[in-house]
Each structure stands twice: as C-alpha cells, then as structure tokens.
Amino acid sequence: MRYKESFLSFLWIGLEPLFMFIILYVVFSNIREPREENFAIYLISGIIFYHLFTKGTMTGLTSIKNNQGILKSLAINKNIFPIIAVTTTALLLTVEVGIFFGIMPFVSFIPSWTLIMMPLVIILLLGLILGLSYLLSILYVKIPDIQPIWTILMYALLFVSPIFWSIDQANDILLTIQQINPLGQIIELSHKIVFNEIPDIEEWLKTALMVSAILVIGYIFFKKFEKTIVEEL
C-alpha cells in the first residue's frame, strides 16, 4: 500500500538503504584515514539496522493515529497497531538482508560462522522498535509535535551511532552517548558478529536490559492511556 503509486513499488524497500550506503561510502571511504579493510561491509551492516529502526519507529509512531477510522468504528485490540510496526520491520528485513549478502561478492568479503548469532541481535532490534512504538503511538496522539521531534532525533542517531565510525575512533562525548544509546549498542553487536568476533556476555546483558526496560515502560504507558486514546483522536 505504501509504495503502490510509485514506479519502482516494492523495490524502494531495498533501494533506500542502498542509496544511503552508496552516498556514505563514497564520502567516507575517501576522507577516512587510514582506509579500513572491509569498510563497505561495516557501513552497510550499520545502515541496515539504522534504516530498519527508523522505518519501524516511524510506522509505530503513526500506527494509532493513522488507523483512527478503524478504532472509532470497531472494538479492536489497540495492541495490534504497534505490533504491526514490528511485523512491517520484519518484512523489510528480508529484503535488506538480501542487499547485505548481495554486496559481499563485490567487496570480496567472506561471511563468518558468527553470523548465526545475528537473529539474537535482530530480536533485540524488534523489541526496541516495539517498546518505542508503544510509547510514541500514544504520545503522537497527545502531542503531534512529537513526529518532527522524533525525525530530528533519528537524524542525530545516524551520526552518534557507530555506523561510519568505530568505537576505537570515538571521543569522550561519543563514547558517553554510546553507553546510553540502545540502537548504537545493537549496531555494535552486529558489527562484532559480522567480523567474526563474539560479543562479551556483559554486552549482551547490557543491551538486553536496555531494550527490556524500554519495552516494559512503553507497554505500561500504552496500557495506561489506551482506553481513553480514542476520545482524543
């Protein structure tokens, strides 16, 4: 439905992160010193998680308000709409994983066995998106300004998350932000897995606790206001 009026239709799901990858790769592969081996794979793995996060949370943010007609006419479980945001993200994932593996032959990258742990990182990402969707969908009804604010925050996340920079290149400010940035933690886990490194158990636990806290808080907030939210639409 989202892409039905465009010429390329469903292909845009893959083209959006691919175009972002090409632009960032051309820019940063020329200004980074020294040029790192496998920077293309490092970059695309970060972009995919960032793109899925932005698409998922924006879908979740508008999930209640965009379906107000259904909510006003039918007695339907409101939980379904944030869950749809996560389901949509999972569908996008199937396309973007194809891009990830499609790029590998062009940069002579051989995937490692550690990629079998990637589903765990994906589960963390989907949990993060669901928790934020619960929270943002209610806030958007009450405070419409939350949409442009969230858009700005997502642009900021592009630069403060380890997508085109690595942890060992970060200064004190970036490292401090990284410690409280769940998306950045998830992207860092994905980078380690892609490059044949097993993340420490502390890294898994820290990220899982952050995601779980956001999921619980978002769900509690959603349940508190879901009964009265239709009246505010």
Q: Quote the pLDDT of residue 34.
A: 45
pLDDT value of residue 2: 58
pLDDT band at residue 219, thresholds of 50, 70 and 90?
very high
* pTM of the shown model: 0.87
Cα(151)–Cα(158) distance, integer angstroms? 11
The answer to whether residue 2 sits within a structural domain is no
* Mean pLDDT computed over 177-201: 94
Task: Look at residue 4 and tell me if it is in a domain.
Answer: no
Average pLDDT, the chain: 86
Range of the domain at 152: 9-232
pLDDT at 10: 58
1 assigned to some structural domain: no
Question: How many domains does the chain contain in total?
Answer: 1
Structural domain contains residue 76: yes
pLDDT tens by residue, 119-150: 999 999 999 999 999 999 999 998 989 999 99
Note whether residue 27 is domain-resident: yes
Mean pLDDT computed over 16-35? 72
Query: Cα angle at 167 between 94 and 48, to 5 degrees?
Result: 15
In sequence order, the 6+-apart residues with CB closer than 8 A to the CB of 107 are: 38, 40, 41
Is the pLDDT at 198 greater than 90? The verdict is yes
pLDDT of residue 6: 54
Listed in sequence order, the residues at least 6 apart from 111 whose beta carbon sits closer than 8 Å to its beta carbon are: 101, 104, 194
> Taking Cα atoms as reference points, which of 184, 134, 142 lies closest to residue 159?
184
Please tell me which residue, 168 or 197, carries the higher pLDDT value: 197
Has residue 125 been placed in a domain? Answer: yes
